[in-house]
Structure 1
Amino acid sequence: MMKLGILGASGRMGQAVIANASRLNATVTAAVVSDQSSRYGEPIYPNAAEAGVRFQHAGEVKPEQVDVFIDFSLPQALENNIALAKRLRVPLVVCTTGLSEQQHSLLAQAGQSMPILYAANTSVGITLLRQLVQLTAAALPDTDIEIFEAHHSAKRDAPSGTAVVLGESAAAGRGKRLSELSAGVRGDGVREPGSIGFSVVRAADIIGEHTVLFAHPGERIELTHRVSNRQIFARGAVQAAEWLKDQPSGLYSMADMLQLKTLLKQLI
């Protein structure tokens, strides 16, 4: 079985991977938490302490301990996480959202010397949705575009990383960058022609919902993706890790893992 190291192991998604790894043909052999975490030293499976896997700090992970890292930590940990993966010569799947342009540049630079896959959302469905959004934006260049997203009340970034990449896909369909078209989260004011706006909901325990609306007078198209179980993200992250561990150095995406370009060429 593939040996997984989880960065940000005590968070919601880290816990989801730990809970589902065995049924996904993987085993968690390193569970990394921050230096301030109260979970340090605890067994990752409370009812199976004899298994020997405990929450640990990054500096304690040994090279032979993991085949690939999955990062579900926070943006401020990215640089250290990349350094850890490089030191141990282990591929890295980065699932952290809310990254800055500088951090995206850091990912691209890291990809020159190691296999690294960045996924703001590890759902296979979201990966397919991005392709549909880009195609629709290109085919309907005069429609208004709005992106609606909803998540649980503790989510930090807004709009979500997934909403942003959906916006990037819509802008790409128009031959533009999102920075040229984004109106940000909608507030007061008249809509600018061609702009892409965002609406954000943070409430209760909503796991993740995204809708991209394409509208012109008399007609609307809505492309929607909803998640009701975090196992979907865990499954996608482990699938990405399984694929990445056999790849050469480079910066990859979920679309690369699914070979979507090849599939589109076959259909065309």
Structure 2
Amino acid sequence: PGIPAEQFPDSGKLHSYSHVSHLGKGSFGDTWKAYDRHLRKYVAIKIFYMRHSSVGRNAFFLTPAIVRKLGEKVAGNVKEAVEECVAVKHLVTSRTAASYPGSHNMCQCFQEHVSDAQPSEPIFLVLELCGKSLSQRLRERPNWAWRKQIITQILQGVDFLQANGKIHHDLKPDNVCVTDEDVVKIIDFGGLQNFGKLSHGCAYTPAYSPPEVKSGCYDLRGPVYAYDGYATGLMLMEFMCGSLTGIRRGSSNPCSYSILYGSEDVNARYVAKMLTQ
């Protein structure tokens, strides 16, 4: 059986972390705040885990031995997460990073402890502690000076990605965090794309995708930077006008409705007008 995912697994390389507190669980990762003695600061530790399987009824942390036992699908998910971590690490340490303020607006991945884990050790990533999501911070009704500062940083982050030929592909308020020091951190690079390379099955959120997108990734021979640009524009509108939830139709952007479904959405004209003012 695996290590029960009920408390912080104080074993292996995780033993070196202290002052641990739980942040939350995702579908594949259990995240903890902990003090990193090597980096001399608090970090977010994402420990891979599974909820239910033939290994046991309850959730358990993954180890290399268990990943091999569970098969290719789980191994593929772990591999993708590690590749995402490595890609962002290379991005923020590139030669051009120092030239762009937006390089500081990426959530850094400091270390991956998957490839060097012992067979019975929990596998995990060490990430930057990024604070609350933009969705959470907006519910606190921040003042306009704060909003202007955050908007500027979001634009800097998107500019940095584009300067490096990257497309985030899933920008939205839940994937933008703000630290306690009011520094923007763009997170979740699972859909990160290279400009000019066709990819399929990318992560995306329909409500923040541009009108020409019907499903998944679209032809990257087109103006693909518009993907992040459009999502950023919608986030800026939410900053200025409040939540768009009331003028969305289901999970699709109202501006896209007539294009995708061949009939007019009553909200589309209103949103189009607001976006162009």
- TM-score normalised to structure 2 length: 0.24
Say which structure, 1 or 2, has more relative contact order (CA 8 Å, 6+ apart). 1
Could you tell me the TM-score, scaled by structure 1's length?
0.25
